[in-house]
Amino acid sequence: MAARFLTEAERRAAPEGRQAALDLARRAPALIVAAKQIAASLVHGVHGRRRAGLGETFWQYRQFMSGEAAQRVDWRRSARDDRLYVREREWEAAHTVWIWMDLSPSMAFVSDLAQQSKVERALVLGLACADLLVRGGERVGLLGLTRARASRDIVEHLAEALLHARGADGDLPPAQPVGPRERCLLISDFLVAPDALAERLAALTGRGATGHLLTVADPIEESFPFSGHVEFLDSDSPQIMRAARAQDWRQAYAQRLATHRAAIAETARAHGLNVAMHRTDRPASEALLALRTRLEEAA
């Protein structure tokens, strides 16, 4: 079973150094294109608020009330009878969605069963979501990195921000509070202690935000297809664990993984976040479709 961490250059998707930034920039177009392609396969429309407000779609006519600015009178309608009417449009307000992609070393991993490394898949999904949401009229920002905005070139914008980001490769989302009725999308492998995650989620959702939590996993992390004499290397530390007969560990590992996933899911739900699962041997569009559905539901 072959698996590897991405090399230093490959894995610095959100790098600290300049060289790494350039390297990501070199790969960014490919990721951006992939993200846009996937996003284009899904259509997300601007959705009305079912009330009058700022918008483009006609909502109703109402009688002019004195004190209003005269320029708001709809003279065409008012010319029909003796009263003055004001034309109201439906309020079309954009949601704000904050996206966080885990760029930590543990994400920089690909096995030969996977189509893409976890970090690349996370980037593709995150950027594709951003594109999709902006085209749907929402505002999107990177959690802790950018402001939320709704420009057409959001993907490029976000990718650029990632390039310039520093110190963003922690394996936990930043503890930045998110405003009420805003949503957040957290993409990571969530191989972190549930307690630490709970602490951050509490900070994130303290003002009433909701959101989604997408776990990206490599297939061999789930199936544990090892046997014989195997040395396991850690991604974050130089530790080595030697298994004389790796096949003996499979059972215990599967149990641990299930427990961990359950703990993460529990933590997320406790803070009002949905939990979804994506494996890198599946196509990215599959995860994106699921994400979109959930985002719409939440809306």
Interaction site with another protein (CB under 8 A): 1-5, 106-107, 109, 118, 189, 191, 218, 221, 226, 228-236, 239, 241-245, 248-249, 252-253, 256-257, 260
CB of 231 to another protein, least distance (A): 5
CB of 252 to another protein, least distance (A): 6
CB of 113 to another protein, least distance (A): 13
β-sheet bridge partners, residue 183 = 97, 210
CB atoms within 10 A of CB 87: 17
Closer to another protein by Cβ: residue 87 or 260: 260
Query: Who contacts 224 (Cβ-Cβ below 8 Å, separation ≥6)?
Result: 246, 249, 250, 253, 254
CB of 274 to another protein, least distance (A): 22
CB of 277 to another protein, least distance (A): 14
Please state, in angstroms and rounded to a whole number, the distance separating the CA atoms of residues 59 and 152. Answer: 27
Please give the backbone phi and psi of residue 161, each rounded to the nearest 5 degrees, phi first.
Answer: -65, -40
Closer to another protein by Cβ: residue 59 or 249: 249
Please state, in angstroms and rounded to a whole number, the distance separating the CA atoms of residues 220 and 258. Answer: 14
- Of 34, 31, 291, 293, the residue nearest 187 (C-alpha): 291
Closer to another protein by Cβ: residue 155 or 213: 213
Closer to another protein by Cβ: residue 102 or 131: 102
Closer to another protein by Cβ: residue 81 or 231: 231
- Widest CA span of the chain, in angstroms? 93
Please state, in angstroms and rounded to a whole number, the distance separating the CA atoms of residues 158 and 127. Answer: 7
Please state, in angstroms and rounded to a whole number, the distance separating the CA atoms of residues 274 and 262. Answer: 13
Q: Are 169 and 107 in contact (CB under 8 A)?
A: no
Please state, in angstroms and rounded to a whole number, the distance separating the CA atoms of residues 164 and 154. Answer: 15
Closer to another protein by Cβ: residue 91 or 224: 224
Query: Who contacts 69 (Cβ-Cβ below 8 Å, separation ≥6)?
Result: none
- Of 230, 194, 186, 193, the residue nearest 212 (C-alpha): 186
Closer to another protein by Cβ: residue 77 or 260: 260
CB of 159 to another protein, least distance (A): 24
CB of 238 to another protein, least distance (A): 11
The DSSP 8-state label assigned to residue 7 in this structure reads P
Give CA separation, 277 vs 9, 79, 280, in Å.
Answer: 27, 59, 10
Closer to another protein by Cβ: residue 10 or 218: 218
CB of 87 to another protein, least distance (A): 58
Tell me if residue 140 falls in helix, strand or coil: strand
